[in-house]
A and B are shown apart, each in its own frame.
Chain A
Amino acid sequence: MLDCDKVTELIPLYIDNELSEEERAGVEGHLASCGPCKARYEEMCSLMSALYGIEDEALPEGFHDEFMEKLRGQAKPESVFTRWNYKAMARAGAYAAAAIIAVSAVSVGVSALLSFDERTAESDAGAVTQPQAKLDQPAEYAMNAAAPAPAAENAVEIVPADRAERDLAQDPIASSITYYNIELTVEDIQETMDQISRLSGTQVSMNKTAPPYDGAQGSAFITRRVSAQEFEIVKDRLRSLGSAMNESESKESRSRQLSDLRARLAAKEAEKDRLLNLLGMSGELDVLVRVESRLNSVADESDNLNAQIRDINREIGQPYLNIQIYNVAYDQPAPPKQGLGARMANSFKESVNSTVKFMQNLLLFVVSAAVPTAVCVILAALIFILVRRAVKKRRGRQQ
Protein backbone atom coordinates (compact mmCIF):
# COMPACT_ATOMS: atom_id res chain seq x y z
CA MET A 1 0.00 0.00 0.00
CA LEU A 2 1.43 3.36 -1.04
CA ASP A 3 1.71 6.14 1.51
CA CYS A 4 0.74 9.78 0.94
CA ASP A 5 4.31 11.00 0.26
CA LYS A 6 4.89 8.35 -2.39
CA VAL A 7 1.52 9.03 -4.02
CA THR A 8 2.22 12.79 -4.04
CA GLU A 9 5.49 12.03 -5.85
CA LEU A 10 3.75 9.78 -8.37
CA ILE A 11 0.78 12.06 -9.15
CA PRO A 12 2.57 14.06 -11.93
CA LEU A 13 3.59 10.82 -13.65
CA TYR A 14 0.11 9.38 -13.12
CA ILE A 15 -1.34 12.36 -15.00
CA ASP A 16 1.15 11.75 -17.82
CA ASN A 17 0.22 8.04 -17.86
CA GLU A 18 3.87 7.15 -17.29
CA LEU A 19 3.37 4.67 -14.40
CA SER A 20 3.49 0.89 -14.52
CA GLU A 21 0.21 -1.01 -14.14
CA GLU A 22 1.03 -1.89 -10.55
CA GLU A 23 1.91 1.70 -9.58
CA ARG A 24 -1.13 3.02 -11.39
CA ALA A 25 -3.44 0.65 -9.51
CA GLY A 26 -1.73 1.61 -6.22
CA VAL A 27 -2.20 5.33 -6.87
CA GLU A 28 -5.83 4.92 -7.92
CA GLY A 29 -6.55 2.81 -4.83
CA HIS A 30 -4.96 5.41 -2.59
CA LEU A 31 -6.72 8.37 -4.24
CA ALA A 32 -10.07 6.63 -3.78
CA SER A 33 -9.53 6.42 -0.04
CA CYS A 34 -7.43 9.53 0.79
CA GLY A 35 -9.09 12.93 0.69
CA PRO A 36 -5.95 15.15 0.96
CA CYS A 37 -4.18 13.21 -1.81
CA LYS A 38 -7.29 13.41 -3.97
CA ALA A 39 -7.26 17.19 -3.43
CA ARG A 40 -3.57 17.35 -4.36
CA TYR A 41 -4.30 15.33 -7.47
CA GLU A 42 -7.02 17.75 -8.51
CA GLU A 43 -4.71 20.72 -7.84
CA MET A 44 -2.05 19.16 -10.02
CA CYS A 45 -4.61 18.48 -12.75
CA SER A 46 -5.71 22.12 -12.76
CA LEU A 47 -2.05 23.23 -12.78
CA MET A 48 -1.37 21.02 -15.77
CA SER A 49 -4.45 22.35 -17.51
CA ALA A 50 -3.23 25.87 -16.86
CA LEU A 51 0.19 24.99 -18.26
CA TYR A 52 -1.29 23.33 -21.32
CA GLY A 53 -3.54 26.36 -21.69
CA ILE A 54 -0.64 28.69 -22.31
CA GLU A 55 -0.78 29.20 -26.00
CA ASP A 56 2.19 29.22 -28.28
CA GLU A 57 3.41 32.57 -29.49
CA ALA A 58 3.17 33.17 -33.21
CA LEU A 59 6.42 33.91 -34.96
CA PRO A 60 7.10 37.60 -35.48
CA GLU A 61 6.57 38.73 -39.02
CA GLY A 62 9.57 38.28 -41.28
CA PHE A 63 11.31 36.05 -38.71
CA HIS A 64 12.51 33.49 -41.24
CA ASP A 65 13.68 36.05 -43.82
CA GLU A 66 15.51 38.03 -41.18
CA PHE A 67 17.25 34.87 -40.01
CA MET A 68 18.21 33.87 -43.56
CA GLU A 69 19.69 37.32 -44.03
CA LYS A 70 21.83 36.86 -40.93
CA LEU A 71 22.74 33.35 -42.04
CA ARG A 72 24.16 34.58 -45.36
CA GLY A 73 26.79 36.52 -43.49
CA GLN A 74 27.99 33.39 -41.66
CA ALA A 75 30.91 31.19 -42.56
CA LYS A 76 30.57 27.44 -43.13
CA PRO A 77 29.68 25.23 -40.16
CA GLU A 78 32.63 24.66 -37.88
CA SER A 79 34.36 21.34 -37.84
CA VAL A 80 33.99 19.43 -34.61
CA PHE A 81 37.78 19.31 -34.36
CA THR A 82 38.53 22.97 -35.10
CA ARG A 83 36.28 24.32 -32.39
CA TRP A 84 37.80 24.86 -28.96
CA ASN A 85 36.25 21.99 -27.15
CA TYR A 86 37.77 22.42 -23.74
CA LYS A 87 35.92 19.55 -22.15
CA ALA A 88 36.92 17.09 -24.87
CA MET A 89 40.51 18.32 -24.79
CA ALA A 90 40.65 18.08 -21.00
CA ARG A 91 39.12 14.62 -21.17
CA ALA A 92 41.62 13.53 -23.82
CA GLY A 93 44.46 15.01 -21.78
CA ALA A 94 43.26 13.24 -18.66
CA TYR A 95 43.02 9.93 -20.56
CA ALA A 96 46.52 10.43 -21.98
CA ALA A 97 47.95 11.26 -18.56
CA ALA A 98 46.19 8.28 -17.03
CA ALA A 99 47.52 6.03 -19.83
CA ILE A 100 51.09 7.33 -19.34
CA ILE A 101 50.86 6.82 -15.58
CA ALA A 102 49.35 3.36 -16.03
CA VAL A 103 51.99 2.28 -18.56
CA SER A 104 54.78 3.63 -16.35
CA ALA A 105 53.34 1.91 -13.29
CA VAL A 106 52.98 -1.38 -15.14
CA SER A 107 56.55 -1.10 -16.52
CA VAL A 108 57.99 -0.33 -13.10
CA GLY A 109 55.94 -3.10 -11.56
CA VAL A 110 56.95 -5.66 -14.14
CA SER A 111 60.64 -4.74 -14.00
CA ALA A 112 60.54 -4.80 -10.18
CA LEU A 113 58.82 -8.16 -10.28
CA LEU A 114 61.35 -9.55 -12.76
CA SER A 115 64.33 -8.32 -10.76
CA PHE A 116 62.70 -9.72 -7.61
CA ASP A 117 62.26 -13.08 -9.32
CA GLU A 118 65.91 -13.08 -10.39
CA ARG A 119 67.08 -12.28 -6.88
CA THR A 120 64.76 -14.89 -5.43
CA ALA A 121 66.02 -17.50 -7.84
CA GLU A 122 69.60 -16.66 -6.93
CA SER A 123 69.25 -16.48 -3.21
CA ASP A 124 66.45 -18.91 -2.38
CA ALA A 125 66.73 -21.65 -4.95
CA GLY A 126 70.48 -21.93 -4.54
CA ALA A 127 72.94 -23.30 -7.01
CA VAL A 128 71.51 -24.75 -10.18
CA THR A 129 73.67 -27.74 -10.50
CA GLN A 130 72.74 -28.48 -14.10
CA PRO A 131 71.95 -25.18 -15.76
CA GLN A 132 72.88 -26.48 -19.18
CA ALA A 133 71.84 -30.05 -18.73
CA LYS A 134 68.91 -29.69 -21.11
CA LEU A 135 69.83 -32.27 -23.66
CA ASP A 136 69.64 -31.64 -27.33
CA GLN A 137 68.04 -34.98 -27.92
CA PRO A 138 67.29 -36.37 -31.35
CA ALA A 139 63.64 -36.44 -32.36
CA GLU A 140 63.59 -40.25 -32.32
CA TYR A 141 63.95 -40.13 -28.59
CA ALA A 142 60.53 -38.77 -28.07
CA MET A 143 58.88 -40.77 -30.82
CA ASN A 144 60.47 -44.19 -30.44
CA ALA A 145 58.34 -46.09 -27.96
CA ALA A 146 60.97 -48.79 -27.65
CA ALA A 147 63.56 -46.34 -26.46
CA PRO A 148 63.86 -45.94 -22.72
CA ALA A 149 62.25 -42.77 -21.40
CA PRO A 150 64.68 -40.11 -20.27
CA ALA A 151 65.71 -41.09 -16.81
CA ALA A 152 64.82 -39.04 -13.78
CA GLU A 153 68.48 -38.37 -13.12
CA ASN A 154 68.58 -36.19 -16.23
CA ALA A 155 66.26 -33.64 -14.64
CA VAL A 156 67.89 -30.42 -13.60
CA GLU A 157 68.45 -30.64 -9.89
CA ILE A 158 68.24 -27.41 -7.95
CA VAL A 159 70.34 -27.74 -4.84
CA PRO A 160 69.78 -25.20 -2.06
CA ALA A 161 72.70 -22.81 -1.64
CA ASP A 162 73.55 -23.96 1.87
CA ARG A 163 73.57 -27.61 0.77
CA ALA A 164 75.81 -26.79 -2.19
CA GLU A 165 78.30 -25.08 0.14
CA ARG A 166 78.16 -28.03 2.54
CA ASP A 167 78.78 -30.51 -0.25
CA LEU A 168 81.78 -28.50 -1.40
CA ALA A 169 83.13 -28.22 2.13
CA GLN A 170 83.12 -32.02 2.28
CA ASP A 171 84.76 -32.24 -1.12
CA PRO A 172 88.54 -32.67 -0.70
CA ILE A 173 89.25 -31.11 -4.10
CA ALA A 174 86.80 -28.27 -4.46
CA SER A 175 88.11 -25.09 -3.00
CA SER A 176 89.01 -21.52 -3.86
CA ILE A 177 91.92 -20.00 -5.75
CA THR A 178 94.13 -17.58 -3.85
CA TYR A 179 95.39 -14.34 -5.39
CA TYR A 180 98.17 -12.29 -3.94
CA ASN A 181 98.49 -8.74 -5.25
CA ILE A 182 101.50 -6.59 -4.56
CA GLU A 183 102.66 -3.27 -5.98
CA LEU A 184 106.40 -2.70 -5.70
CA THR A 185 108.43 0.41 -6.21
CA VAL A 186 111.96 -0.61 -7.22
CA GLU A 187 115.24 0.97 -8.36
CA ASP A 188 115.79 -1.32 -11.30
CA ILE A 189 112.87 -2.98 -12.94
CA GLN A 190 114.90 -5.41 -15.06
CA GLU A 191 116.93 -6.58 -12.06
CA THR A 192 113.74 -7.07 -10.04
CA MET A 193 112.16 -9.05 -12.84
CA ASP A 194 115.17 -11.34 -12.95
CA GLN A 195 115.03 -11.85 -9.21
CA ILE A 196 111.34 -12.79 -9.42
CA SER A 197 112.23 -15.35 -12.07
CA ARG A 198 114.93 -16.80 -9.89
CA LEU A 199 112.57 -17.12 -6.89
CA SER A 200 110.97 -20.23 -8.31
CA GLY A 201 113.94 -21.27 -10.35
CA THR A 202 111.97 -21.02 -13.61
CA GLN A 203 111.29 -18.35 -16.13
CA VAL A 204 108.14 -16.44 -15.09
CA SER A 205 105.47 -15.63 -17.57
CA MET A 206 105.09 -11.89 -17.71
CA ASN A 207 102.37 -9.56 -18.81
CA LYS A 208 104.23 -6.35 -19.41
CA THR A 209 102.90 -2.85 -19.69
CA ALA A 210 104.83 -0.45 -21.90
CA PRO A 211 107.36 0.92 -21.39
CA PRO A 212 108.64 -1.66 -18.91
CA TYR A 213 112.43 -1.50 -19.14
CA ASP A 214 113.70 1.62 -20.75
CA GLY A 215 114.95 3.79 -17.99
CA ALA A 216 113.27 5.91 -15.40
CA GLN A 217 109.63 5.76 -16.55
CA GLY A 218 109.21 1.97 -16.42
CA SER A 219 106.55 -0.27 -14.93
CA ALA A 220 105.70 -3.95 -15.27
CA PHE A 221 102.78 -6.21 -14.48
CA ILE A 222 103.50 -9.87 -13.81
CA THR A 223 101.09 -12.72 -13.17
CA ARG A 224 102.43 -16.09 -12.19
CA ARG A 225 101.44 -19.16 -10.25
CA VAL A 226 103.44 -20.71 -7.45
CA SER A 227 102.99 -23.91 -5.56
CA ALA A 228 101.06 -23.79 -2.31
CA GLN A 229 104.21 -24.79 -0.43
CA GLU A 230 106.33 -21.87 -1.64
CA PHE A 231 103.50 -19.30 -1.62
CA GLU A 232 104.36 -17.73 1.76
CA ILE A 233 108.10 -17.79 1.00
CA VAL A 234 107.63 -16.00 -2.33
CA LYS A 235 105.43 -13.38 -0.70
CA ASP A 236 108.15 -12.58 1.89
CA ARG A 237 110.84 -12.37 -0.79
CA LEU A 238 108.72 -10.11 -2.99
CA ARG A 239 108.31 -7.70 -0.08
CA SER A 240 112.11 -7.58 0.29
CA LEU A 241 112.67 -6.72 -3.37
CA GLY A 242 111.53 -3.11 -3.02
CA SER A 243 109.11 -0.83 -1.30
CA ALA A 244 105.60 -2.38 -1.20
CA MET A 245 103.01 0.28 -2.03
CA ASN A 246 99.95 -1.92 -1.83
CA GLU A 247 99.42 -5.51 -0.76
CA SER A 248 96.28 -7.61 -0.63
CA GLU A 249 95.23 -11.24 -0.67
CA SER A 250 91.89 -12.44 -2.03
CA LYS A 251 90.17 -15.73 -2.65
CA GLU A 252 87.87 -16.55 -5.51
CA SER A 253 85.56 -19.49 -4.97
CA ARG A 254 85.36 -21.96 -7.82
CA SER A 255 83.11 -24.30 -5.87
CA ARG A 256 79.92 -23.43 -7.70
CA GLN A 257 81.66 -23.51 -11.07
CA LEU A 258 83.10 -26.93 -10.30
CA SER A 259 79.76 -28.19 -9.06
CA ASP A 260 78.10 -26.96 -12.22
CA LEU A 261 80.70 -28.54 -14.49
CA ARG A 262 80.43 -31.84 -12.66
CA ALA A 263 76.64 -31.86 -12.94
CA ARG A 264 76.84 -31.18 -16.65
CA LEU A 265 79.45 -33.90 -17.00
CA ALA A 266 77.19 -36.36 -15.15
CA ALA A 267 74.31 -35.46 -17.46
CA LYS A 268 76.47 -35.99 -20.52
CA GLU A 269 77.68 -39.33 -19.18
CA ALA A 270 74.08 -40.41 -18.57
CA GLU A 271 73.14 -39.36 -22.06
CA LYS A 272 76.09 -41.26 -23.41
CA ASP A 273 74.87 -44.41 -21.62
CA ARG A 274 71.34 -43.99 -22.99
CA LEU A 275 72.64 -43.45 -26.49
CA LEU A 276 74.78 -46.59 -26.22
CA ASN A 277 71.72 -48.47 -25.02
CA LEU A 278 69.68 -47.10 -27.92
CA LEU A 279 72.44 -48.01 -30.32
CA GLY A 280 72.14 -51.63 -29.21
CA MET A 281 68.35 -51.71 -29.47
CA SER A 282 67.68 -50.00 -32.76
CA GLY A 283 68.02 -51.91 -35.97
CA GLU A 284 67.23 -49.17 -38.45
CA LEU A 285 70.22 -47.79 -40.29
CA ASP A 286 69.24 -44.11 -40.41
CA VAL A 287 68.43 -44.14 -36.69
CA LEU A 288 71.76 -45.82 -35.97
CA VAL A 289 73.62 -43.18 -37.97
CA ARG A 290 71.93 -40.34 -36.17
CA VAL A 291 72.43 -41.89 -32.73
CA GLU A 292 76.09 -42.51 -33.57
CA SER A 293 76.49 -38.89 -34.62
CA ARG A 294 74.86 -37.66 -31.44
CA LEU A 295 77.02 -40.02 -29.39
CA ASN A 296 80.19 -38.50 -30.88
CA SER A 297 78.95 -35.02 -30.14
CA VAL A 298 78.13 -35.94 -26.53
CA ALA A 299 81.52 -37.56 -26.11
CA ASP A 300 83.25 -34.38 -27.32
CA GLU A 301 81.23 -32.25 -24.93
CA SER A 302 82.02 -34.66 -22.14
CA ASP A 303 85.77 -34.42 -22.86
CA ASN A 304 85.57 -30.65 -22.96
CA LEU A 305 83.86 -30.57 -19.56
CA ASN A 306 86.49 -32.94 -18.15
CA ALA A 307 89.24 -30.64 -19.41
CA GLN A 308 87.63 -27.62 -17.76
CA ILE A 309 87.33 -29.47 -14.47
CA ARG A 310 90.98 -30.55 -14.69
CA ASP A 311 92.09 -26.94 -15.33
CA ILE A 312 90.22 -25.65 -12.32
CA ASN A 313 91.55 -28.44 -10.10
CA ARG A 314 95.08 -27.61 -11.23
CA GLU A 315 94.58 -23.93 -10.44
CA ILE A 316 93.20 -24.62 -6.98
CA GLY A 317 96.46 -25.93 -5.65
CA GLN A 318 98.52 -23.12 -7.22
CA PRO A 319 98.01 -19.61 -5.84
CA TYR A 320 98.34 -16.70 -8.22
CA LEU A 321 100.76 -13.86 -7.76
CA ASN A 322 99.97 -10.50 -9.32
CA ILE A 323 102.98 -8.25 -9.16
CA GLN A 324 103.00 -4.67 -10.35
CA ILE A 325 106.39 -3.04 -10.47
CA TYR A 326 107.00 0.68 -10.69
CA ASN A 327 110.26 2.51 -10.89
CA VAL A 328 111.12 4.58 -7.83
CA ALA A 329 111.96 7.54 -10.00
CA TYR A 330 108.63 7.35 -11.75
CA ASP A 331 106.81 10.59 -11.45
CA GLN A 332 104.18 12.40 -13.38
CA PRO A 333 106.06 14.48 -15.97
CA ALA A 334 105.60 18.20 -15.36
CA PRO A 335 103.77 19.97 -18.20
CA PRO A 336 106.06 22.11 -20.32
CA LYS A 337 105.93 25.81 -19.57
CA GLN A 338 103.69 27.66 -21.99
CA GLY A 339 103.64 31.23 -23.10
CA LEU A 340 100.77 33.63 -22.42
CA GLY A 341 99.32 33.20 -25.91
CA ALA A 342 99.31 29.42 -25.71
CA ARG A 343 97.71 29.52 -22.27
CA MET A 344 95.01 31.92 -23.52
CA ALA A 345 94.39 29.67 -26.50
CA ASN A 346 94.08 26.65 -24.21
CA SER A 347 91.76 28.54 -21.90
CA PHE A 348 89.58 29.56 -24.85
CA LYS A 349 89.53 25.99 -26.09
CA GLU A 350 88.47 24.74 -22.67
CA SER A 351 85.70 27.31 -22.42
CA VAL A 352 84.43 26.37 -25.90
CA ASN A 353 84.48 22.71 -24.91
CA SER A 354 82.61 23.39 -21.69
CA THR A 355 80.04 25.50 -23.57
CA VAL A 356 79.49 22.72 -26.08
CA LYS A 357 79.11 20.23 -23.24
CA PHE A 358 76.65 22.53 -21.49
CA MET A 359 74.59 22.87 -24.66
CA GLN A 360 74.57 19.10 -25.09
CA ASN A 361 73.36 18.67 -21.50
CA LEU A 362 70.73 21.37 -22.04
CA LEU A 363 69.48 19.60 -25.17
CA LEU A 364 69.34 16.34 -23.25
CA PHE A 365 67.37 18.09 -20.51
CA VAL A 366 64.94 19.58 -23.00
CA VAL A 367 64.31 16.20 -24.56
CA SER A 368 64.11 14.20 -21.35
CA ALA A 369 62.55 16.61 -18.83
CA ALA A 370 61.16 19.69 -20.51
CA VAL A 371 58.69 17.89 -22.80
CA PRO A 372 56.97 16.01 -19.93
CA THR A 373 57.02 19.23 -17.91
CA ALA A 374 55.38 21.12 -20.77
CA VAL A 375 52.69 18.41 -21.03
CA CYS A 376 52.03 18.73 -17.30
CA VAL A 377 51.80 22.53 -17.59
CA ILE A 378 49.33 22.27 -20.48
CA LEU A 379 47.21 19.78 -18.53
CA ALA A 380 47.26 22.05 -15.48
CA ALA A 381 46.23 25.01 -17.66
CA LEU A 382 43.34 23.03 -19.14
CA ILE A 383 42.16 21.97 -15.70
CA PHE A 384 42.41 25.59 -14.54
CA ILE A 385 40.33 26.78 -17.52
CA LEU A 386 37.69 24.12 -16.89
CA VAL A 387 37.47 24.95 -13.18
CA ARG A 388 37.19 28.66 -13.97
CA ARG A 389 34.42 28.00 -16.48
CA ALA A 390 32.59 25.79 -13.96
CA VAL A 391 32.87 28.50 -11.29
CA LYS A 392 31.61 31.14 -13.73
CA LYS A 393 28.74 28.86 -14.70
CA ARG A 394 27.77 28.34 -11.06
CA ARG A 395 27.96 32.07 -10.39
CA GLY A 396 25.77 32.68 -13.42
CA ARG A 397 23.21 30.20 -12.08
CA GLN A 398 23.25 31.81 -8.66
CA GLN A 399 22.66 35.18 -10.28
Chain B
Amino acid sequence: MSEILLARARKGDKDAFGQLIYPYERLIYNIACKYMGNAEDAKDTAQEAMLKIYLNIKSCRSYATFKAWSAKITVNASLDALRKRARKSAETLEEHQAPETDEPEHTAIINEDVRNLKDAINALGEDQRTLIILRDLEGFSYAELAETTGAALGTVKSRLSRARLALREQIDKSWRL
Protein backbone atom coordinates (compact mmCIF):
# COMPACT_ATOMS: atom_id res chain seq x y z
CA MET B 1 0.00 0.00 0.00
CA SER B 2 2.75 2.39 1.00
CA GLU B 3 4.66 1.56 -2.20
CA ILE B 4 1.51 2.43 -4.18
CA LEU B 5 1.24 5.74 -2.30
CA LEU B 6 4.90 6.41 -3.03
CA ALA B 7 4.40 5.63 -6.73
CA ARG B 8 1.38 7.96 -6.88
CA ALA B 9 3.26 10.69 -5.03
CA ARG B 10 6.12 10.41 -7.52
CA LYS B 11 3.60 11.22 -10.26
CA GLY B 12 2.54 14.38 -8.41
CA ASP B 13 -0.50 13.04 -6.52
CA LYS B 14 -0.52 15.43 -3.53
CA ASP B 15 -3.23 13.58 -1.60
CA ALA B 16 -1.22 10.38 -1.87
CA PHE B 17 1.83 12.24 -0.58
CA GLY B 18 -0.25 13.59 2.29
CA GLN B 19 -1.18 10.04 3.28
CA LEU B 20 2.39 8.87 2.83
CA ILE B 21 3.95 11.58 5.00
CA TYR B 22 1.27 11.64 7.69
CA PRO B 23 2.77 8.84 9.89
CA TYR B 24 6.15 10.60 9.81
CA GLU B 25 5.02 14.15 10.51
CA ARG B 26 5.60 13.85 14.25
CA LEU B 27 9.08 12.40 13.71
CA ILE B 28 9.98 15.18 11.28
CA TYR B 29 8.62 17.82 13.60
CA ASN B 30 10.50 16.40 16.58
CA ILE B 31 13.80 16.22 14.71
CA ALA B 32 13.31 19.86 13.75
CA CYS B 33 12.41 20.68 17.35
CA LYS B 34 15.67 19.19 18.67
CA TYR B 35 17.69 21.33 16.29
CA MET B 36 15.73 24.55 16.35
CA GLY B 37 14.92 24.64 20.08
CA ASN B 38 11.53 26.36 19.75
CA ALA B 39 8.17 25.33 18.46
CA GLU B 40 7.64 28.09 15.92
CA ASP B 41 10.94 27.59 14.11
CA ALA B 42 10.52 23.83 14.39
CA LYS B 43 7.13 23.99 12.70
CA ASP B 44 8.41 26.15 9.85
CA THR B 45 11.49 23.98 9.40
CA ALA B 46 9.47 20.76 9.50
CA GLN B 47 7.01 22.01 6.89
CA GLU B 48 9.89 23.28 4.74
CA ALA B 49 11.52 19.84 5.03
CA MET B 50 8.25 18.11 4.09
CA LEU B 51 7.93 20.26 0.99
CA LYS B 52 11.49 19.34 0.07
CA ILE B 53 10.63 15.69 0.60
CA TYR B 54 7.70 16.08 -1.81
CA LEU B 55 9.71 17.94 -4.43
CA ASN B 56 12.52 15.37 -4.29
CA ILE B 57 10.30 12.30 -3.91
CA LYS B 58 11.59 10.90 -7.22
CA SER B 59 15.01 10.47 -5.60
CA CYS B 60 13.59 8.11 -2.98
CA ARG B 61 14.37 4.60 -4.17
CA SER B 62 11.74 2.65 -2.20
CA TYR B 63 9.42 2.90 0.77
CA ALA B 64 11.89 0.80 2.81
CA THR B 65 14.28 3.75 2.87
CA PHE B 66 11.61 6.46 3.06
CA LYS B 67 11.94 7.05 6.83
CA ALA B 68 15.75 7.36 6.78
CA TRP B 69 15.66 9.40 3.56
CA SER B 70 13.05 11.80 5.00
CA ALA B 71 15.06 12.12 8.22
CA LYS B 72 18.15 12.99 6.18
CA ILE B 73 16.27 15.78 4.38
CA THR B 74 14.86 17.02 7.68
CA VAL B 75 18.31 17.07 9.31
CA ASN B 76 19.74 19.01 6.36
CA ALA B 77 16.80 21.42 6.33
CA SER B 78 17.23 21.98 10.08
CA LEU B 79 20.98 22.59 9.74
CA ASP B 80 20.30 25.05 6.89
CA ALA B 81 17.72 26.84 9.04
CA LEU B 82 20.17 26.99 11.93
CA ARG B 83 22.83 28.50 9.67
CA LYS B 84 20.38 31.09 8.40
CA ARG B 85 19.47 31.95 11.94
CA ALA B 86 23.12 32.19 12.95
CA ARG B 87 23.70 34.72 10.20
CA LYS B 88 21.05 36.99 11.60
CA SER B 89 21.94 39.56 14.19
CA ALA B 90 22.21 38.77 17.90
CA GLU B 91 19.13 40.87 18.45
CA THR B 92 17.08 38.68 16.13
CA LEU B 93 18.52 35.63 17.86
CA GLU B 94 17.29 36.95 21.20
CA GLU B 95 13.84 37.47 19.71
CA HIS B 96 13.78 33.79 18.80
CA GLN B 97 14.87 32.75 22.27
CA ALA B 98 12.44 35.01 24.06
CA PRO B 99 9.28 32.94 23.41
CA GLU B 100 10.94 29.90 24.96
CA THR B 101 10.55 31.39 28.38
CA ASP B 102 7.36 33.21 27.63
CA GLU B 103 5.55 30.23 26.16
CA PRO B 104 7.00 27.09 27.78
CA GLU B 105 4.17 24.90 26.49
CA HIS B 106 5.44 25.41 22.95
CA THR B 107 9.05 24.51 23.64
CA ALA B 108 10.89 21.29 24.22
CA ILE B 109 12.26 22.67 27.41
CA ILE B 110 10.34 21.25 30.30
CA ASN B 111 12.71 21.60 33.17
CA GLU B 112 16.21 22.72 33.97
CA ASP B 113 17.83 19.29 33.56
CA VAL B 114 16.31 18.78 30.14
CA ARG B 115 17.35 22.28 29.16
CA ASN B 116 20.93 21.60 30.24
CA LEU B 117 20.90 18.35 28.35
CA LYS B 118 19.62 20.05 25.21
CA ASP B 119 22.21 22.78 25.52
CA ALA B 120 24.90 20.13 25.80
CA ILE B 121 23.55 18.39 22.67
CA ASN B 122 23.50 21.67 20.76
CA ALA B 123 27.10 22.31 21.78
CA LEU B 124 28.20 19.18 19.90
CA GLY B 125 29.39 19.23 16.33
CA GLU B 126 26.80 18.73 13.55
CA ASP B 127 27.56 15.06 12.92
CA GLN B 128 27.62 14.05 16.59
CA ARG B 129 24.47 16.08 17.30
CA THR B 130 22.65 14.36 14.43
CA LEU B 131 23.60 10.91 15.71
CA ILE B 132 22.50 11.67 19.27
CA ILE B 133 19.21 13.21 18.13
CA LEU B 134 18.32 10.41 15.75
CA ARG B 135 19.45 7.49 17.89
CA ASP B 136 18.91 8.57 21.49
CA LEU B 137 16.02 10.96 21.10
CA GLU B 138 14.16 9.59 18.07
CA GLY B 139 15.04 5.92 18.52
CA PHE B 140 16.51 5.22 15.07
CA SER B 141 18.08 1.80 14.62
CA TYR B 142 21.75 1.54 13.67
CA ALA B 143 20.75 0.48 10.14
CA GLU B 144 18.53 3.54 9.78
CA LEU B 145 21.35 5.71 11.08
CA ALA B 146 23.68 4.24 8.47
CA GLU B 147 21.09 4.91 5.75
CA THR B 148 20.48 8.47 6.94
CA THR B 149 24.10 9.48 7.37
CA GLY B 150 25.38 7.52 4.39
CA ALA B 151 28.09 5.88 6.52
CA ALA B 152 28.90 2.19 7.04
CA LEU B 153 27.34 0.41 10.01
CA GLY B 154 30.67 -0.03 11.83
CA THR B 155 31.48 3.64 11.30
CA VAL B 156 28.10 4.65 12.69
CA LYS B 157 28.68 2.55 15.82
CA SER B 158 32.07 4.06 16.56
CA ARG B 159 30.88 7.61 15.76
CA LEU B 160 27.85 7.24 18.00
CA SER B 161 30.01 5.89 20.78
CA ARG B 162 32.31 8.91 20.49
CA ALA B 163 29.30 11.24 20.32
CA ARG B 164 27.90 9.90 23.59
CA LEU B 165 31.26 10.23 25.29
CA ALA B 166 31.55 13.77 23.94
CA LEU B 167 28.07 14.55 25.27
CA ARG B 168 28.98 13.29 28.70
CA GLU B 169 32.12 15.44 28.69
CA GLN B 170 30.04 18.40 27.57
CA ILE B 171 27.63 17.90 30.47
CA ASP B 172 30.55 17.60 32.90
CA LYS B 173 31.96 20.84 31.52
CA SER B 174 28.66 22.70 31.91
CA TRP B 175 28.26 21.43 35.49
CA ARG B 176 31.76 22.60 36.36
CA LEU B 177 30.85 26.02 35.04
Q: Which residues from chain B contact A57 at a C-beta distance below 8 Å?
A: 29-30, 33, 39, 42, 108
> Shortest Cβ distance from A60 into chain B, in angstroms?
5
Q: Which residues from chain A contact B117 at a C-beta distance below 8 Å?
A: 50-51, 54
A54/B161 in contact, CB under 8 A: no
Q: Of the candidates B51, B87, B118, B167, which one forms a contact with A74 in the assembled complex, judged by CB atoms under 8 Å apart?
A: B51
Cα distance A66–B79 in the bound complex, in angstroms: 23
B18/A71 in contact, CB under 8 A: yes
For A81, the closest partner residue in chain B by CB is B58
**Is B59 close to A, CB under 8 A?**
yes
- Mask, B88-130, CB within 8 Å of A = 1, is 0000000000000000001010100110011000000110000
> Shortest Cβ distance from B107 into chain A, in angstroms?
8
A79/B58 in contact, CB under 8 A: yes
- Mask, B144-159, CB within 8 Å of A = 1, is 0000000000000100
B165/A72 in contact, CB under 8 A: no
A72/B113 in contact, CB under 8 A: no
What is the interface of chain A mostly: helix, strand, loop, or mixed?
helix
B51/A70 in contact, CB under 8 A: yes
A12/B160 in contact, CB under 8 A: yes
A71/B136 in contact, CB under 8 A: no
Cα distance A60–B41 in the bound complex, in angstroms: 12
> Shortest Cβ distance from A107 into chain B, in angstroms?
38
Q: Which residues from chain B contact A71 at a C-beta distance below 8 Å?
A: 14, 17-18, 50-51, 54
Q: Which residues from chain B contact A8 at a C-beta distance below 8 Å?
A: 165
Q: Of the candidates B43, B55, B108, B167, which one forms a contact with A60 in the assembled complex, judged by CB atoms under 8 Å apart?
A: B43
**Is A55 close to B, CB under 8 A?**
yes
> Shortest Cβ distance from A26 into chain B, in angstroms?
15
Q: Of the candidates A18, A51, A70, A80, which one forms a contact with B142 in the assembled complex, judged by CB atoms under 8 Å apart?
A: A18
Residue among B12, B46, B58 with most chain A CB within 10 A: B58
For B168, the closest partner residue in chain A by CB is A47
Q: Which residues from chain B contact A399 at a C-beta distance below 8 Å?
A: 83, 86-87
**Is B67 close to A, CB under 8 A?**
no
- Mask, B22-56, CB within 8 Å of A = 1, is 10011001100100000100110011001100111
B10/A77 in contact, CB under 8 A: yes
- Mask, A128-139, CB within 8 Å of B = 1, is 000000000000
Q: Which residues from chain B contact A53 at a C-beta distance below 8 Å?
A: 114
> Shortest Cβ distance from A249 into chain B, in angstroms?
81
Q: Of the candidates B43, B110, B165, which one forms a contact with A9 in the assembled complex, judged by CB atoms under 8 Å apart?
A: B165
**Is A76 close to B, CB under 8 A?**
yes
Cα distance A63–B167 in the bound complex, in angstroms: 32
Which A residues, 214 to 252, have Cβ-Cβ distances below 8 Å to chain B?
A: none
- A76-B161 contact, Cβ under 8 Å, with A47-B171, A63-B43: no
B9/A50 in contact, CB under 8 A: no
A68/B39 in contact, CB under 8 A: no
For B33, the closest partner residue in chain A by CB is A57
B83/A64 in contact, CB under 8 A: no
B58/A74 in contact, CB under 8 A: no
> B-contacting residues of A (Cβ < 8 Å)?
8-13, 16, 18, 43-44, 47-48, 50-60, 63-64, 66-68, 70-72, 74-80, 83, 396-397, 399
When A and B form their complex, which 4 residue pairs have the shortest distance between CB atoms, in order from nearest? Answer: A76-B12, A12-B164, A396-B83, A51-B136
